[in-house]
Structure 1
């Protein structure tokens, strides 16, 4: 199949996570993605415009979405990772949808996903990840390299579960949470919206919305968000 006949994708974000997506679709020769091609990148860094990343051109910033859609690129993926955070991931995801792009789920064939797992639009599960039975994963979620999400977990929209993190059984993670690399969340914990779990932390009790916790056991370093 020629490149012009393939499912054409734009990846929003030309950094580390964007390159992971390009490699998954184009770089590894995986039969699951033989009919796909990443044909454009966008990025907020103006110095990247006109350059190529892994042989994919950076065509500008997010303001190019509508033009790219009108040019026949049908699918959009968020390539924004840890550095720019979950809030920007959420904004870009919404803008891709508003521009008309389909928001596919990508699962590396080297990941293990139970048969009854629900995966929301735009979510990406990378190589070596494990997602156990009964899990419900929201929209625009990243389950990164080697991360494990055990049985019956609920993960809200726009979350990132970083490399090697372990979310144990029955955990509830609300929207736009970052679980850092190598962190462990013990069973049946709830992590509130917008919270951050630091790399290597062990979470033994509930985490309030907006709070950052670090260490073993995890302790707060940022006050939770309050309304008033």
Structure 2
């Protein structure tokens, strides 16, 4: 029987298990709970007992530290030789010309248009709408319901929050956080933090 390790914690791990169960009922799913200590360090010893031997893996972690926690976990699994196919949830519509990297998650009801490129480890939330010819970098996090216009470019490790709408051909740089609901009509430079609690944008430094 084909096996898959699903590694993560909390509600997101439970969700990923349920999603994979729907996507591929024939999989032997093996949940692995991975905790962090007070300094946000993973207890990676739980990975030592995982056996590749044809099994695949999926990292089910949230967007902590610009999604680097999820990326770190993915890297540790790749070091151990695991293949990490993308998870496309039931009800998602992904064009056959779209390209999905490893450990990508496409939520239920999301739409990914023609000729899109979605980098590895990126999360596209439920109901998000990604226009044709978009380029989304590695380890980005796109919340549920976000709309991204045609030919837009979203940089690596960028986070787009609830209610964000990215206009056609707009570029959002890497390491950006856009967490202000509404339409973005101008390019956003790398390392820019936009949040409803701040009157102006903030630049992230030393990253």
What is residue 111 of structure 1 aligned with on the other side?
Answer: 92
2:57 is the counterpart of 1:66: no
Write the distance in 1 (CA, Å) between the matches of 2:132 and 2:108.
19
CA-atom RMSD in angstroms: 2.4
State the TM-score, normalizing by the size of structure 2. Answer: 0.87
CA shift at 1:176, angstroms?
0.7
Alignment of 1:68-217 (within 5 A): 68-69=50-51, 74-83=55-64, 85-214=66-195
| 1:110 alignment partner, SS class | coil
2:55 is the counterpart of 1:39: no
What is residue 222 of structure 1 aligned with on the other side?
Answer: 202
* Distance change (3 Å), C-alpha of 1:152 and 1:12: same
Moved over 4 A (4+): none
Write the distance in 1 (CA, Å) between the matches of 2:11 and 2:64.
9
CA shift at 1:85, angstroms?
4.1
The answer to whether the Cα contact below 8 Å between 2:32 and 2:46 also exists between their aligned partners in 1 is no
| 1:69 alignment partner, SS class | coil
CA shift at 1:132, angstroms?
0.6
Write the distance in 2 (CA, Å) between the matches of 1:106 and 1:14.
17
Write the distance in 2 (CA, Å) between the matches of 1:193 and 1:136.
15
Question: Unpaired segments of 5 or more residues in structure 2?
Answer: none
CA shift at 1:163, angstroms?
0.7
* Distance change (3 Å), C-alpha of 1:164 and 1:69: same
| 1:68 alignment partner, SS class | coil
2:15 is the counterpart of 1:20: yes
Question: What is the number of residues matched between the two proteins?
Answer: 203
CA shift at 1:173, angstroms?
0.8
What is residue 57 of structure 1 aligned with on the other side?
Answer: none
2:5 is the counterpart of 1:10: yes
The answer to whether the Cα contact below 8 Å between 1:211 and 1:220 also exists between their aligned partners in 2 is no
